[in-house]
Amino acid sequence: MRRAIFILSQKGGSGKSTFSRALLDHLRRVRGLPVAAYDADGQVGQLLQHYGARDARGGLLAPQDPLFGVASFDLRQAAQRGMVLDALDVPAPILLFDFPAGCLGDLGRVVGGGRGMAPLLDAFEAEGVRLTVVVVISNVQASTHNVLAAMEAFGDRVDYVVVKNCFYGQPEDFLFFDGFTGADGLAYGGQAREALARRGGVVFALPALPGREYALCDLYSLGFTEAASYRALRRSERATLAVFMQDFGQEADRTAPLFGDVPDRPVAGSPRVETRP
């Protein structure tokens, strides 16, 4: 079965594009899988800037072949939204979309003039494409609400992955997502994790990438794997990037089927969310 991956967050600054970049890097460059990649934030999107195909002078090619670079469009522009469906014509087993923050309303208008997600899901299912919705969160309360908003929009017809961006803390620090008992003895949060568990969802821990190495990737417009061997970076910086991708790869192996990957070695542990006692 073909797989489409929708990477989104209603709130900006959660690390959505960082995850998109690392996942595309892992699938294409580490696993060697054919992935058609799309940046729905137009020409300014990070996925395009770091993984788009470039000419001999380093300029981004236009147009981009999504199988070898990153095709771009602006989801916020009504005339360009159709790219979400047009991507189904590309002969790739995996379609990866990095959507801009606050995209749920625009996605609901791709087909049917604002009739919600159902017509869009119908179109993907008719082509035998299973959808994975990835919601990237930080450890603040508003970010966790994005998980519930996505589930309300897409319902039970897709697979879900919630990505904890560990730049904001250890996995156990996402209190509003996991739920916790305050010093006052009252229970807070946890609704999003419980909803994810009911739908058989997966939690993915995105490793923290230090700010210096992140900035250097931006400076040279490098993908993460490429940066790990880029000689303009210090040896220690290259090593930090290599460890980041190794740690990311371990999480990706755990959750491989939801990203259209079939691991060639046993996958340790279960990615499914356990319900809290």
* Chain segment 113-147, per-residue pLDDT in tens: 767 899 999 999 999 999 999 999 999 888 888 99
Q: How many domains does the chain have?
A: 1
Assess if residue 269 is contained within a domain.
no
What's residue 264's pLDDT? 56
What's residue 275's pLDDT? 37
Assess if residue 271 is contained within a domain.
no
Which tokens sit at 154? 């897409």
Which tokens sit at 249? 């790869």
Q: How many CB atoms lie within 10 A of CB 259?
A: 23
What's residue 1's pLDDT? 86
What's residue 115's pLDDT? 78
Q: Which residue has the tokens 């994005």?
A: 146
Assess if residue 202 is contained within a domain.
yes
Positions of the chain with pLDDT under 50: 265-277
What's residue 267's pLDDT? 40
Assess if residue 190 is contained within a domain.
yes
Domain ranges, residue 7: 2-209+249-259
C-alpha span between 155 and 198 (Å, rounded): 11
Assess if residue 97 is contained within a domain.
yes
C-alpha span between 42 and 16 (Å, rounded): 15
C-alpha span between 17 and 23 (Å, rounded): 10
C-alpha span between 140 and 192 (Å, rounded): 13
Q: Which of 16, 104, 26 has the alpha carbon at shortest distance from 260?
A: 26
Assess if residue 26 is contained within a domain.
yes
Assess if residue 268 is contained within a domain.
no
Q: The CATH number of the domain where 160 resides is what?
A: 3.40.50
Assess if residue 277 is contained within a domain.
no
What's residue 266's pLDDT? 43
- Reported pTM: 0.92
